Every structure is written in structure tokens, then in C-alpha cells.
Structure 1
Amino acid sequence: MNAKTLSRLVVYTVLGVAAFFFLAPLYVMLVTSFKDAEQIRSGNLLSLPHGLNFESWTLAWSTACTGVDCRGLKPYFMNSVMMAVPAVLISTAWGAVNGYVLSMWKFRGSDLLFGFILFGVFMPFQVVLLPMSQVLGFLGLSSSIAGLVLVHCLAGMAGTTLFFRNYYTAIPRELVNAARMDGAGFWRIFVRIVIPMSTPILMVTLIWQFTNIWNDFLFGVAFSGADSKPITVGLNNMANTTSSVKSYNVDMAAAIIAGLPTMLVYVLAGQYFVKGLTAGAVKG
């Protein structure tokens, strides 16, 4: 065995061990969700179920109790969909326009403004809970899905602006200058020239924002009402609902349901995410 083969074997072994420890919790969740209560009590965490029993999935989706509400995760799932889709689209579009302005239409103080925007990337969200609740109350959006959409758009603006601004600085200025000489204005240059060149960073931002917004718990528990709680809050309430017998299979099925959209996004669009990050790294 030569040195190159040995080195490759060591790398694959380390990656295999890391993948095992990373995927082990997901495996335990999945197999537990297909077991009934008797199999959970008599077996162990790693044992396979006797068969595919979807009863726990049905209970988690439609009839499991989250506190005094026994409608399962379905209403919370729909709340998250109605919150995440517009918030992702608006925050991505907002960041694209901001990055376009700050990179190609610079004005006096634009670099200073960009520096202030960057504070939002590093600011802990806990410090904005009180002022944000006051703003939502002033706008009449407290405890509503629209309020959550606004909160996530504002919270994500700094990150999306950073992504697009750094990406757009690598676009040749000659293209923009030539378009200006041909009479193209602000929006025509943005739509006809900049956006078609933005596919890699658009995919990165869309996936990044969807993951952050769908998995958010802090804003969901702080700003939602009884009828607008996202799925992360519903999952927490379900797991903390006490009963005579703890239904671990239902809790595991509910956790997988809550994380399924983000997993599907990375499975279906993960290649675009990697390509976008690579393109951004090369351009930056």
C-alpha cells in the first residue's frame, strides 16, 4: 500500500466516522417514529421496527395535542408556509436591490451605510425583541403572520445585503457604464443585466433565508399569537405536553415533519447552493 492510497484510506475513514455520528440521531428519530409503544419499551434505540407503522405520523400531523389544542402540527405547518414563503422572497429581493445600489450606484456615505448595515449580521436578535414588539404594536401587526413576515424581512436584510453587495462588486463596471450610455436606467440595468448574472447568489440566499426563517424559534415564540404560531413553536409545545405515557414515536415523527422542508430544500437544491458559494468565493 503506497502513501497515496493510505492517505486516501485515512481520509475516507475519518469522513465515514464523522458521517456516522452526524447521521446517527436522524436514524434514531426515523426508526423510532415507525415503532409502536411496545417496541420502544422492549427494544433499544438502534433496533429496527418490526414494520412500517405510520400511525405516529398520522397522530403527529393531525391529532396530537400541543397543550390544549389537539389538531397536531398541520395548522402550525401551514402557518410556517404562509410566513416563510413571502419572507424569503421579500428579504431576498430587498437584499438584491440594496446590494445593487451599494455596489454600482454608490453615493456619498454609501460605504458608511453599508458598515452600519453589517451591524445587523452580528447583532444578537434578543436585543431587538422589545423594540420590535413596540414597532409591531404601533403598526397593528402584533401576534400575526404578517408581523412575523416583517420581522424576518428586517432580520434578514443585513445578511442578504452582504451576500449581494459582495457578489455584485465583481461584476465588470463596463457593462453598467455601457448600458447607461445606451440610455438604460436604474431598474432596466438591474432587471436586464444584473439579475440574469445573479443566479448563483440568488440560490444561495434563497436557501439560506428559507433555512433560517423556517427553523426560527425565537421570533416565533415572541411575536406569534394563538393562531399564528410557526411549526417550531408547535413542535416545542407538543414535546412539552405532559400525558400519562410519553409518546416518543409521535414526538420523533413530529420532529421529522418539522425538519422535512429544509431537508428537501438541501437535497433538491444543494448542488446550486454549493455552486453559488463557490462562485461567490471565486468572485470575491
Structure 2
Amino acid sequence: MADVGILAATKAAEQPVAALLDGPRGPKPVRRFSRSNIIIYGTLFVVALYYALPLYVMIVTSLKGMPEIRVGNIFAPPLEVTFQPWVKAWQEACTGINCDGLSRGFWNSFQILIPSVILSVAIASVNGYALSMWKFRGSEVFFTLLMIGAFIPYQVMLYPIVIMLREAGLYGSLTGLVLVHVAFGMPINTLLFRNYFASIPEELFKAARVDGAGFWAIFFRIMLPMSLPIFVVALIIQVTGIWNDFLFGVTFTSSPERYPMTVQLNNIVNSVQGVKEYNVNMAATLLTGLVPLVIYFASGKLFVRGIAAGAVKG
């Protein structure tokens, strides 16, 4: 019996050695510099360069003086870095009859952005929650009509909205512009929230209902804590769309004092008076796009997670 035990132990010890002698098993490791990898990374590099090159030109041009810009080498880094174009774009550039730069339009854009984002995301989240968890008779018809609104060109709706705001006494005010952004942001955000909430296990909802939780208790205590990624997606979509909007800003604001930043940027870039200051134009453009870029880079990972969870399910 002892010999049998020794023989079994010897065979068990020899098995790993035999496995090593036979060589490694499993899939063949992929070479780091294979032909397919070179093609993939090469393509990604070219695409990244294509999108980064204009941004590079804008940054270096905004840091040059006009004598250096007139030399004509737009790709060369600045010989003498100057931030005067940024200062002028912020507080001295003329946007029509006013020469106070983009500072006034910046705060106008903030007054438009904050309530528009809060209202549109809050209402859309409740809509998506109700359409996914508390379906009622005709809910699918309501959702279909809401989605149709997402595909109607904005230009078609301009004149009717102008009439409605005029009759309500809101035309030309920032409040009217906020309501327009809230209405036009509703369809796509409702779709995102509906699909995201539909991906949450229904057992959680049923268990909460059994425990006696109602509509708002389930929403605030169960759904909201699980919904940070999709809220970030809706936030980025709304901030980007509202902050970069030009059409609604120029249509529904009646005076230069209420113009958002994008309308002021258009007035600076397309000014036909005096010398064309390309460094100031580039600095003004970078200042205008700074807020969406900061928000996106600060929450990029959550944005990807929310898109994956809320855009392809439901």
C-alpha cells in the first residue's frame, strides 16, 4: 500500500513537468507590432492628427502678435508668447456697438445654461422613469410622438415658437430662450433615460412596490443612486448643445445685451471694420468652447458608461 501511495505521488509530481516539456498551451500571443496593429494604430494616429491639427493652429495663433502672424507660417510656434489677444477677446473686442468683449455674453450664456440643463434633465429623467417603470395606457403613443419631435428640423419650428413667445410676453428674454432649450432637449434625453431605466432589473422595482414604496420614493431612493452615468450623458449633451447654440440665441434674443457667447463670437469673427485680428478671433473661439471641453474631460469615463448603458437597450 505504501508503494502504491509513493507511485501515485510521483506521477502527480511529474504531470506539471510534463506539461512544461510539452510547451505552453492556449491561444498564441498576439505580437505587439503585427501588421494589423500597425494599420489600426496608424489609422488612429492619422485621425487624431487630423482633428488635433486645427486646435494646435488655433492655440499657437492666439499666442502670437499680428506682425508674426503676417509672416504666414501658421504651424510655427510663437517666437514671443503674448496673452494680449486673450485679454482683448475677453474684455475689449467689439461685438457690434459694444466693445466689452465676450465677458457679457459669457455670463448671459451661464444664465441660459444653468436653468435649461437643470429643468431639461430633471423633467426628462422623470419622463424616462415613468415610461419605463410606470407604463400607462397610451404611453407608447406618447413616447412615439415625443420621438417624432426629435427629428423635426429646428428651422421649421422657429416661426411658430416666435409667435408663441410673443403672445406669452417672453420673446426677446432669456426666460423664453431657456424654455425653448428645455423643450428641444426633452425628446433625446427622455429616450436616454427611458432606455437606461429599462435596463435596470425589474425585480428591484417589484420588491420596492411590495415594500409599499410609491412613485417618488422608488425614483429618489432606488433609481437616482444607480443613474449617475446616464445623468452625466444627459448633462454633457445638454451643456454642449445649449452652450454652442447660435440659431436660437440669435432668433429669440432681441438685443445685444442679452446675446449669448456664440452670437458675440460671430459678431467678432465677421466684423468688417478695422484690421482683421486673427489672434483675437482664435482666442475668442477657444474661450467660447472652453466650458463644454472642461465638462467632457472631467467626466469622460462616466459619459462612455452612460452611453453604453442607456443608448442601446430598452
TM range (shorter): over 0.9
Change (3 A) 1:91 1:281: closer
Q: Is residue 2:239 matched to residue 1:203?
A: no
Q: CA deviation at 1:177?
A: 2.2
1:42 is paired with a residue of what secondary structure?
coil
Runs of 4 or more, structure 1, over 3 Å off, are 1-4, 281-284
Out of 198, 201, 217, the residue aligned to residue 169 of structure 1 is: 198
Alpha-carbon spacing, 1:176–1:3, altered in 2? closer, same or farther (3 Å)? closer
Residue 278 of structure 1: how far off its partner (Å): 2.2
1:6 alignment partner AA: R
Equivalent position of 2:97 in the other structure: 68
Paired position in structure 2 for 1:154: 183
Deviation at 1:50, TM superposition (A): 1.2
Distance 1:117 1:37 in 2: 51
Instruction: Name the amino acid aligned to 2:280.
Output: V
Tell me the residue number matched to 1:92: 121
Structure 1 residues 31 and 187, CA, compared in 2 at 3 Å: closer, same or farther? same
CA distance in 1, matches of 2:273, 2:289: 24
Question: 180-189 or 1-10, which moves further after superposition?
Answer: 1-10
What's 1:25 paired with? 54
Deviation at 1:51, TM superposition (A): 2.5
Match of 1:109 among 127, 138, 144: 138
What's the CA shift string for 1:66-100, capped at 9, x where partnerless? 11110100000111111111101110011001011
Structure index of larger Rg = 2
- Paired letter, 1:65: C
Distance, in Å, in 2 between the alignment partners of 1:238 and 1:22 is 24
Q: CA separation in 2, counterparts of 1:11 and 1:17?
A: 10
1:144 positional shift: 1.2
Which of residues 155, 167, 170 is equivalent to 1:138? 167
Measure how far apart 1:54 and its partner are.
0.4
Matched residue SS, 2:258? coil
1:247 to 253, 258, 277: 277
1:231 corresponding residue in structure 2 = 261
The match for 2:157 among 122, 128, 140 is 128
Query: Match for residue 192 of structure 1?
Result: 221
Residue correspondences, number: 284
Q: Quote the residue 1:40 is aligned against.
A: 69
User: Matched residue of 1:200: which SS?
Assistant: helix
Q: Cα 1:3–1:201, aligned 2, differ >3 Å: closer, same or farther? A: closer
Conserved in 1, the CA contact under 8 Å of 2:195 and 2:311? no
Q: TM-score, length-normalised on structure 1? A: 0.96
Paired residue type of 2:268: M
Q: Which residue of 1 is the match for residue 25 of structure 2?
A: none
Sequence identity percentage: 50
Give the corresponding residue for 2:293: 263
User: Secondary structure in 1 aligned to 2:229?
Assistant: helix
Distance in 1, Cα, partners of 2:72 & 2:112:
40
Q: How has the CA–CA distance of structure 1 residues 220 and 281 changed in structure 2, closer, same or farther, with 3 Å as cutoff?
A: closer
Q: What is the TM-score with the length of structure 2 in the denominator?
A: 0.87
Q: Per-residue CA shift, 1:122-176, capped at 9, x if unaligned?
A: 1111111011111211222111111111000000001111111111112222222
In structure 2, do the counterparts of structure 1 residues 281 and 128 end up closer, same or farther at CA, with 3 Å as the change threshold? closer
Q: Summarize deviations over 1:192-240 as a string: whole Å, max 9, x none.
A: 1111111111111111111111111110110013221111100001111
Q: In structure 2, what is the Cα distance between the partners aligned to 1:272 and 1:116?
A: 30
Specify the code of the residue in structure 2 equivalent to 1:56.
P
Change (3 A) 1:181 1:235: same
Change (3 A) 1:112 1:180: same
Matched residue type, 2:241? N
Structure 2: how far apart are the matches of 1:4 and 1:143?
60
After superposing the two structures, state which structure 1 stretch, 48-57 or 1-10, moved more: 1-10
Q: Pairwise CA RMSD of aligned residues?
A: 1.6
Q: 1:63: Cα distance to partner?
A: 0.6
In the alignment, structure 1 residue 118 sits paired with structure 2 residue 147 = yes
Does 253-262 or 274-283 show the bigger shift?
274-283
**Code of the aligned partner of 2:135:** K
Q: Counterparts of 2:145 and 2:311 in 1: how far apart (Å)?
A: 23
